[in-house]
Amino acid sequence: MTCAGMQMEGELEEYDIVVAGGGPSGLFCALCGSKAGNSVLVLEKMPSCGKKLLVSGTGQCNITHDGEISLFLTHYGAHGRFAKPALMQFSNHDLVRFFHARGLEMVTEPGGKVFPSTRRAGDVLAVLLRECACSGVDIHCNEPVLGVAVSRGGFEVKTKRTAYFSPHFVIATGGATYPATGSSGDGYTLAASLGHRITEIGPALSAVRVKEFPYPDLAGMSFEGLHITVMRQEKHICRNKGDLIFTHHGLSGPGVLDISRYIRPGDRIMVSFAPSREAEEAAKAVHAALVGGGRVQVAKVLRGLGLPDRLSKGLLDLAGVAGGATCAHLGKDARNAIALRVSSHPFEVEALSGFDRAMVTRGGVDLDEVNPKTMESRLHRGLYFAGEVLDIDGDTGGYNLQFACASGVLAARSIAGVAKKRGLP
Ligand SMILES: Cc1cc2nc3c(=O)[nH]c(=O)nc-3n(C[C@H](O)[C@H](O)[C@H](O)COP(=O)(O)OP(=O)(O)OC[C@H]3O[C@@H](n4cnc5c(N)ncnc54)[C@H](O)[C@@H]3O)c2cc1C
């Protein structure tokens, strides 16, 4: 073990572990590394750590999700398998226990989201910072890592102030969204400078701007359990069932956010507004209800299928049907037009909200070049990655913070050679 910040004259300051980034992944890694007996330095670019953590869950911090960890794996797009070892060795239950043991209780919402009982992200950060301080982790804020070079069987880490040497360097600099929090993509540059491939990055957990969005007046209207399908020309891209919210310019809500990693400008998002009914079933139900509706007003029939009146009004306007029309008034073309808009309403994607508004980044350090069992680079011994800088992004619901924390812990445990699960950190 190296004494913290040990430095001989003319030599670089030396630590067992240097971590770039004081977000949840970096702080968990630092804490766990320090508890295992290492001297640890966290270099944080911003004046204080955890700025993104503080805005997470609108400041309430949805830190993880309830349930079996095996069920988590479907919540990281195609990359759940990579996340498995990290999540298994530091699970959602471990995370909850960690905070409980330090006096911060967690509560689970009916849908499974887990929050601190105080509903304050600041309390989560305070526990982490207090634990790091008690364990002797050195944290240098306002000291961005500017570069890193392989040297003497370790890494020379350059900052604006000085340079450090460490046999273990952890890149935990986050993604590239919400750059005002400090996560502006530096980790990709650092990793690339060491020869790592970076897959294409883009905004994810991102609202969608719709071309000529027809319902700006309904902004704020929310829907539960809708079937949503994404098409690219005639190709089916993905589908989801989830809640949707209209914004002034398009679509948001978990049902869209969770598949936004797959959505590109020009795609069509098809929504079945009949709750819980897939397109085909919804179309049949609309046809049957309209044909059998007689003198009942069309809007009333649609209400019976679960559509809010204000949406029905907008939707009938688009289909060219007068508001007060009864089912008996409708010809076949009108019935088809209504059924299409209820069961498979098309929205053309103009854009995704940009890096400044999206919650996470898709893409990042190529997972083929990182060992999922250790978080160590396959290119350089002693180089590790943790958190969002990797090409992995989770759904809404606490999956991103869980992976950030778990991957930070795994990196530290690998460095310490602690293969077996321990009660730590
Ligand atoms: C508005 C919003 C709400 C969110 N809500 C949730 C939620 O409720 N639940 C959930 O699971 N996820 C949520 N997320 C996502 C989650 O916050 C991130 O996935 C998570 O913070 C990633 O942790 P990280 O440690 O990998 O990176 P970050 O938290 O981004 O931390 C990286 C740190 O590295 C620092 N850094 C960057 N470059 C350098 C450098 N060159 N040198 C030194 N330091 C550097 C940054 O300043 C930053 O402090 C939300 C994100 C946003 C933007």
Q: Residue 6's pLDDT is what?
A: 60
Beta carbons of 83 and 400 less than 8 angstroms apart: no
pLDDT bracket for residue 420 (50, 70, 90): very low
Q: Residue 2's pLDDT is what?
A: 53
Beta carbons of 305 and 342 less than 8 angstroms apart: yes
d(CA 367, CA 370): 5
Take residue 17 and report the two structure tokens written for it.
């572990």
Cα(177) to ligand 1 centroid in Å equals 8
**87, pLDDT greater than 50:** yes
Take residue 5 and report the two structure tokens written for it.
């910040």
pLDDT bracket for residue 422 (50, 70, 90): very low
54 within ligand 1 shell (Cβ under 6 A): no
> Tens digit of pLDDT for each residue in 187-208?
999 999 999 999 999 999 999 9
243 within ligand 1 shell (Cβ under 6 A): no
Atom from ligand 1 closest to the CA of residue 394: 11
If you average pLDDT over residues 417-423, what whole number do you get? 52
> Of 133, 122, 164, which Cα lies nearest the Cα of 20?
164
Atom from ligand 1 closest to the CA of residue 178: 53
Q: Residue 418's pLDDT is what?
A: 57
Cα(342) to ligand 1 centroid in Å equals 38
Which of 79, 400, 405, 409 has most ligand 1 atoms within 8 Å of CB, for mutation?
Answer: 400
**340, pLDDT greater than 50:** yes
Residue having the nearest C-alpha atom to atom 8 of ligand 1 = 57
182 within ligand 1 shell (Cβ under 6 A): yes
> Of 241, 209, 206, which Cα lies nearest the Cα of 223?
241
- Counts for the chain of helices (H) and strands (E), in that order: 12, 22
For the four alpha carbons of 313, 318, 319 and 325, in that order, the dihedral sign comes to: positive
pLDDT bracket for residue 235 (50, 70, 90): very high
Q: Residue 12's pLDDT is what?
A: 87
Residue having the nearest C-alpha atom to atom 14 of ligand 1 = 56
206 within ligand 1 shell (Cβ under 6 A): no
> Of 315, 314, 419, which Cα lies nearest the Cα of 374?
419
Residue having the nearest C-alpha atom to atom 13 of ligand 1 = 56
**421, pLDDT greater than 60:** no
173 within ligand 1 shell (Cβ under 6 A): yes
**344, pLDDT greater than 90:** yes
> Tens digit of pLDDT for each residue in 117-163?
999 999 999 999 999 999 999 999 999 999 999 998 999 999 989 99
> Tens digit of pLDDT for each residue in 15-74?
999 999 999 999 999 999 999 999 999 999 999 999 999 999 999 999 999 999 999 999
> Of 116, 98, 106, 99, which Cα lies nearest the Cα of 423?
98
Cα(164) to ligand 1 centroid in Å equals 24
**309, pLDDT greater than 70:** yes
pLDDT bracket for residue 323 (50, 70, 90): confident
Antiparallel, parallel or unpaired: β 268-272 and 202-204: unpaired
d(CA 43, CA 15): 12
370 within ligand 1 shell (Cβ under 6 A): no
d(CA 201, CA 189): 12
Higher pLDDT, 319 or 185: 185
> Of 83, 90, 174, which Cα lies nearest the Cα of 373?
83
pLDDT bracket for residue 9 (50, 70, 90): low
Domains of the chain, each with CATH number or no CATH: 13-202+355-416 (3.50.50.60), 208-352 (no CATH)
185 within ligand 1 shell (Cβ under 6 A): no
**423, pLDDT greater than 50:** no
Distance separating the N- and C-terminal Cα atoms of the chain? 18
